[in-house]
Structure 1
Amino acid sequence: MTAFKHSAADTRLLRATGDGLVGDNRLAVSEARLTTESAGVLQVQGTGGAPARSVAVRLLPAPGVPADVVVAPAALVQEHRLTPDEGWELVSADALTPAVLELELPSGPSLDEATAILREAPLLCGHVFAHGSEALPDAWVDASGTLFRVRQALDHGGQVLRGLLRIGAETRLTLFAPGGRSGVDIVVLADCSGSMSIDDIPAAARDEGKWLGRLRSGSAGSTISRMNALKDALGSMIDARTRYDGVGTRFALVRFDHDQEPVFPARWGMEEVADAHSVQQLRGAVSLLDFRQSGTDIGRALHKAGELLHRYGVPGNDRLVVLVSDGAHFAPLPEERSGESLSGTQDPVSLMEDLHSGLDIRLHAVGISDDSLFDRWWQAQRHHPGWTPQAHESMVPNHRMLGELVAVAGGDRQRIGGLDVLEEYFAELGSGVVRAVGRPARPRLPRLQLTSRELAAGPPRRATSDPRQRRTWEAAVEEALIAYSRVCEASRARLGYQLLRSSPPDDFARLRRQCADRADFTAWLSVTYQVFNERLHAPLRRPRKDPAVLDLPALSMPFWDGRMAQLHELRNFYHHDRDMEERAEHNRIAGVIIQKHTGSYAPPESDADAWRALQLGLVRDLAALLNEAHSILDAAPGPDPVPAVPEGTAAGGARIKSQGYD
């Protein structure tokens, strides 16, 4: 990917509104700078003490965009408070493409309607987002105006993806619908072959009284069997599903090895788990699950599951088979038999493909244990008689077939792991249903909504300060604000009230902003005047002949020596009609102030260096004034305590009294 970088120092930032290429987090850039679309990161500098932000964006080269222009959605500019001429940088970045992206059904559309929206959304393929970091809020995907929350993104191995992600043409989309809004008929096929007796699943402590807590309590490092892990996870599903009422859902639990046997209901069929009695029956059935010393026939089990869903399912409900197995007995056909004609049950993958295409039955596969869990357990058995370095293949978990089954059944979930993986999966299964949506539609990008005239007529890039000038400014502002805080704290302690009333955080953020022209300076001056003059204790705002009117007369020296008056004179100069005859003397005073800080009585409107010099000079004067005021306050005694002397006796001390603002 060609290196790409834009910043406020070299780029004009234009805003776009309405429908078109630029919208959501899609930005248009010059084809001369970026030849193919890319993921990117918009880095926004924090203001007013706020942290910097990184925004995931989709960069789209567009005809007619000048090389020094970036076109951004107006809503994004407003949301992140982008200032066109400072504080942002745009760079291209590598993004991972999920193999599976699971979204959550939003309020409003039904499951069918939301599925159709995702399948037809023309801008979904290529969408860029950030997901999975604790520091990031929930990620949302906009599909034709409908927002979907991202639940998880997985790679081809089923591992969770985090960071900067991009939806690709091969990404399989799935949609999670909470149990309160979805109906799903479920057949759980529980592997009860001999290998399920192996206790290579790490246990985890749980409070007494919880489902099968007795199986999970024990010393650190203890394990439970694959069968008990399955029973525990099924308990999590039951707990979750009972929280949702009013959804027509039927359920069946089937144990299988070489044969199949109904567990719930007790006879072949499906039943709703909708009341306390049926819940109790299901719990009892789960507790009776146990392994047998026999092999596994997954094909016959799938055939029975398809028959149950076809005969007993609720019309309109999703149809789901959940296959839970360690897969330890799976052995692929040898090459010399690969061309044989097999019965359906002898070829589980082809059978599942037929069930999906003919009856719209989907499959989730949950693989119990994995190579690392088994190997850790097997090495711990080395002291047992008959142990060998290589375990028999009938014991080792093998999830290859589970992956092949998932691939032909709509690309739904495959989970592999220990107790935590099983519990997480079954808790989600109990709380809702996941539907396979398919792959995103081919992208159909609209045209850029700005004309060539609008692109060319954008405001010229305004000058930005060099790094040293910027550091000097930031240090001066920081000193002034620290002095402001110290004066507020010291005046409360010495006078009993603040000399400067509190200001909103946004005012301090604007006060920190360095200007680039006269319009910027005028806006900055208004805020600075409010913070330091309008909110100043009233007796200090206007110089008087007699400082004795002040509670602490010594404060007259820093506040009345002309430095604070600069704000007043300049504010009136830039906000009033300067041509009025009665303003002549004040205009002269303002000119002297401007000349003192800039060397010119009337700097050009676009002379950034001059306006920044004026801004810097005023801030430095304010910092010095406030530091002097703090020294005076720090040396003064505190407010008089409540008199503890007999009535009629005056308390001594400086002439300091507690009072409010005028």
Structure 2
Amino acid sequence: MTLLGRGGPAFTPNDTRLVTAPGHGLAEGNRLAVPAQRLAADGPGLLTVRDPAAGRSSAARAVAVRLVPVAGLPADVVVVPEELAGEHRLTDGGWRLEPAAAAVPAAVELESPAALSLDEAALAVQRSPLLAGHVLTHGQDTAQDTWIDLDGLPFRVRSATDQAGQRLRGLLAIGAETRFSVFAPGGRSGVDIVVLADCSGSMGVDDIPDRRESARRITARRNTPAATVTRLDALKGALRAMIDARARVDGLVTRFALVRFDLTTRTLFPGADGMAEVTGGSGDHTLDQLRGAVTLLQHDNQATDIGRALHKAAELLHRHGVPGNERLIVLVSDGAHWAPMSEERSGESVAATDDPVSLMEDLHGGLGIRLHAVGISDRSMFGSWWNELCRTDPTLREPPENLVPNHDLLGRLVDVAGGDRHRIGGVDVLEEYFAELGSGVVRAVGRPTPGRLPALQLDPAALAAAPAGPAADPERQRRWEQQVEEVVRRYAEVCTASSTRLGYPLFRTSLSDVARLRQAAASHTQFTAWLSVADKVFHERLHESVRFPRRNRRDLAGLDLPELTGPLWDGRLGEVHGLRNFFLHDAESEKRSPEQNRAVGEVILRHTGKYAVEEHDAAGWHSLQQGLLNNLAGVLAEVYEILVAAPPPHPPAPREPERGSGPAGPSAVPPAGAAVAPAAAPPVPTAVRVVAQGFD
């Protein structure tokens, strides 16, 4: 098994400062920027997180991360995406970061998002520049899915396997040679399928272990050789599993054909020489007819002409397939009658059907036909069967070459035909493949596209010049977390109460974003990251009817509950939105008027006792953060009281904001937030509203 990464020095709160980075850039998702002088190479790592307040007995969480060395980054700094920091509540003393060894999967299968077609999903995976090197944990907790985010699109990891096809579990790192495929469930992707069933003489060899019969023998304590079935019987059982799976998928137009082949070909389903729709709907008997056709599969004492079979399948797909559907040939064979062309014949001009590989390459390139190959039996199974046969017949020596499984051709066909499932084995392999084929379709994508990581969002030189932050005060951290928990609770109460009173939630609920408000700020960078989340939660997610005062004030009577405009428009939410725009638009600072700058200073003064906060004044930024959170708490408390109160006989006129308070324009009003103390802060000066409007 290939492993990526190795042990190295650990990062702990004793020698490392965690700095959060907002937005898009190098430190995003589960990528962490670490100093190049402490880690030489990009690789996998584990971030172990424990809640200090829960005690030593609490279970630690291990988070898979990718460690990216950055030149110039201070030796005592690790840059963490602010979403990751908020999600896992990283606090001083509660985490440990260290490099780790990860297995490199040979193949990964992803399930496409519901919003994408199979073509779109395959293209998204194919073009993603950030797959190579991605680190994930997969297969350890069967109750929790693993997801990979590709440019904002979530792909679920269905499987990760090694070179031998065995499933991998634990910490994994995508390598440059990892092969990707995309699965689209049957309800979302039409597929026209021609199954080519090998019925040559070698398919009568009974070297396939029968799991169920063997289990019965073990249970009955019978001291007899393991039960086996013929290769063809194993194929027939797998086809029945596919039919059963197809019967459980509704609403999909699929055409299907079953073709038996040896030296000749014959279509067993449908009865006529074509393809038939298989829907599985009420009153549709095509699945029963297909089951009947499977029972007709019989092996003959003949050789195999795979080229002729491929030509027949392509003809059926071209003439009878549904336009726009995936075109797929599924070739099931032991390959026993095929041998590669000898060197003496390599220069000859041969018919297309005499060279199956060239034929399949042309069919894929010209008609877009893909091929999946399933190899029945293998040399180990056959060897066990032959040895048992030799014990009963001592005259037997070397096995006939035409009975020995040979899957070389199947692998070469898959390579040129855009398929991906060259599987070899017995009953379990066949049933797994065909059951999945009945419920959807898989497309090979190939290896990840090499790409460059984006630049780090923060300036390493600025971080190097900044002094180390003070150690966290556990009591202050505890009070802060209690404060945020109260806000989260009030936020949920407002969403529930508004759904009951108004018929819709006042906020488009996103508790994962709300949870990110727990990150206490100790620097300008951390405060800005927190402010972005607060604005997203309380402004962007606020219902549009009360989000924009200037637009909606003209027709207050048209609002479902005009009383809500009092706390929502009195200026407290405007502080969050105005400061967010002020701090996140440094490039526009030269365009600000003196009045706008002074207005921001007034807001900072109100919460901190001074007009400006130094870059790394941890106490100042935390005080500003707490003041804004108190504002949001007060708004939520008042909004909740309005929502749960019985309506008066004559609704009072909505309270207009005091002169000089509240945001001034559509871009200046943020949403409501969380609560701690219902005390309302003084209104925001007019200049702050101008700032919020001018820098949105």
Q: Is TM-score (shorter-chain normalized) higher than 0.5?
A: yes
| 8 Å CA contact retained: 1:28, 1:71 | yes
| 8 Å CA contact retained: 1:158, 1:414 | no
Output the CA distance in 1 between the equivalents of 2:208 and 2:26. 51
1:77/1:194 CA distance change after superposition, 3 Å: same
1:274/1:128 CA distance change after superposition, 3 Å: same
Output the CA distance in 2 between the equivalents of 1:102 and 1:523. 42
273, 278, 289: which one pairs with 2:278?
Answer: 273
How far apart are 1:453 and its partner, in Å? 5.8
337, 341, 348: which one pairs with 1:333?
Answer: 341
Aligned twin of 2:59: 51
Secondary structure class of the residue paired with 2:449: coil
Alignment of 1:136-175 (within 5 A): 137-175=144-182
Are 1:240 and 2:245 matched, yes or no?
Answer: yes
Aligned twin of 2:108: 101
Secondary structure class of the residue paired with 2:114: coil
Output the CA distance in 1 between the equivalents of 2:16 and 2:481. 28
How far apart are 1:459 and its partner, in Å? 6.6
Output the CA distance in 2 between the equivalents of 1:218 and 1:289. 33
Aligned twin of 2:371: 363
Output the CA distance in 2 between the equivalents of 1:162 and 1:375. 31
Alignment of 1:11-160 (within 5 A): 11-45=16-50, 47-48=54-55, 49-83=57-91, 85-134=92-141, 137-160=144-167
Q: Which amino acid in the other structure matches residue 378 of structure 1?
A: W
Cα RMSD for the two superposed structures: 2.7
| 8 Å CA contact retained: 1:188, 1:253 | yes
How far apart are 1:130 and its partner, in Å? 1.9
| 8 Å CA contact retained: 1:231, 1:287 | yes
Secondary structure class of the residue paired with 2:273: coil
4+ aligned runs moved over 6 Å, structure 1: 217-220, 525-528
Aligned twin of 2:433: 425
Secondary structure class of the residue paired with 2:212: coil
1:406/1:31 CA distance change after superposition, 3 Å: same
10, 18, 31: which one pairs with 1:6?
Answer: 10
Q: Which amino acid in the other structure matches residue 474 of structure 2?
A: D
Gaps of 5+ in 1: 207-216, 463-515, 529-605, 607-662
| 8 Å CA contact retained: 1:12, 1:459 | no
1:370/1:461 CA distance change after superposition, 3 Å: farther
Q: Which amino acid in the other structure matches residue 124 of structure 2?
A: I
Output the CA distance in 2 between the equivalents of 1:218 and 1:363. 43
Aligned twin of 1:594: none
Q: Which amino acid in the other structure matches residue 45 of structure 2?
A: G
| 8 Å CA contact retained: 1:45, 1:87 | yes
1:265/1:448 CA distance change after superposition, 3 Å: same
Aligned sequence identity (%): 58
Q: Which amino acid in the other structure matches residue 28 of structure 2?
A: G
Output the CA distance in 2 between the equivalents of 1:78 and 1:267. 63
Output the CA distance in 2 between the equivalents of 1:526 and 1:454. 28
1:89-118 per-residue CA deviation (whole Å, 9 max, x = no partner) reads: 222233333332210012222222222322
How far apart are 1:24 and its partner, in Å? 0.7
1:260/1:87 CA distance change after superposition, 3 Å: same
Aligned twin of 2:316: 308
Secondary structure class of the residue paired with 1:349: helix
How far apart are 1:436 and its partner, in Å? 2.1
Are 1:374 and 2:386 matched, yes or no?
Answer: no
Secondary structure class of the residue paired with 2:285: helix
450, 474, 485: which one pairs with 1:520?
Answer: 474
Output the CA distance in 1 between the equivalents of 2:197 and 2:223. 26
| 8 Å CA contact retained: 1:178, 1:433 | yes
Secondary structure class of the residue paired with 1:382: helix
| 8 Å CA contact retained: 2:32, 2:81 | yes
Output the CA distance in 2 between the equivalents of 1:523 and 1:248. 58
Are 1:396 and 2:404 matched, yes or no?
Answer: yes
434, 451, 459: which one pairs with 1:451?
Answer: 459
1:274-300 per-residue CA deviation (whole Å, 9 max, x = no partner) reads: 243111110000011010011111111
1:423/1:67 CA distance change after superposition, 3 Å: same
Alignment of 1:339-350 (within 5 A): 339-350=347-358
Gaps of 5+ in 2: 214-221, 483-617, 619-696
| 8 Å CA contact retained: 1:256, 1:297 | yes
